Amino acid sequence: MPTIAARPYDFAFPARGLGLIVIDMQRDFLEPGGFGEALGNDIGHLAGAIAPARRLLAAFRARKLPVIHTREAHLPDLSDCPPAKRQRGRGSLHIGDAGPLGRILVDGEPGSAIVPELAPLPDELVIRKPGKGAFHATSLGRILPQLGISHLVFAGVTTEVCVQTTMREANDRGYECLLAEDATASYFPAFKLAAVEMLVAQDGIVGWAAPVEAIETALGAL
């Protein structure tokens, strides 16, 4: 099988069993006026992941490998948003409230859209998820076997929350998981570093990690 130079050791994958999941690269998290900024975060820490994620998308698209995007967004009536989630925090805005990018984390609002630089192609799947993990209350668990995917590459935000949660969910379901290190980011750089180390610890207890360049090199040789 082909391999990607990775930590803690090379990531072997079947040429036609590899898929990419890009998690929550949404305006609400990455742009001014969104939920991330409303929580008091420095959104500038996420900007650096956009260009590497774009390169990763290009590499997968060039080889016609499956690409899945996720968006964390709730129904307009918030029936899929538990009160404990909506009420969390002491900021001025909460999920469902009106903000500069529309109602926060509500499906169909401008802020729920993926940033233009990483816009999905018409034939790429986009999964709306109401939770942090992409398997919770979604069709992802049914879709991956239908696509013949056994190995997953992950990108997106934030590393220690939605990305790590989804990688752990995938690992529990038997998928081999690789994190594209420079195509993921956190509002707290130290949290990203810690999350990556947790994922690859103990010989890859959750998965592997590699730079986008190593993934590009491996896919380019297919």
In the chain, which ranges are continuous DSSP H helix? 27-30, 35-38, 44-47, 50-62, 83-86, 140-146, 164-172, 189-204, 212-220
- Reference 180, options 208, 203, 148, 151; nearest CA is 208
Close Cβ partners of 174 (under 8 Å, ≥ 6 residues apart)? none
| 42 is a catalytic site residue | no
Residues 6+ apart with CB under 8 A from 48: 182, 185
Residue (of 72, 69, 73, 61) closest to 22 by Cα position: 69
64 is known as an active-site residue: no
162 is catalytic: yes
Cα distances from 92 to residues 25, 49, 138, 177, 212, in angstroms, run 23, 27, 30, 37, 37
Q: Which residue among the candidates 28, 81, 129, 132 is catalytic per the annotation? A: 129
**Rounded to whole angstroms, how far apart are CA atoms 194 and 212?**
19
CB-count exposure of residue 158 (10 Å: 0-12, 13-18, 19+): buried
Catalytic choice (28, 81, 132, 162): 162
Q: Are 20 and 212 in contact (CB under 8 A)?
A: no
Which residues does the annotation mark as catalytic? 24, 129, 162
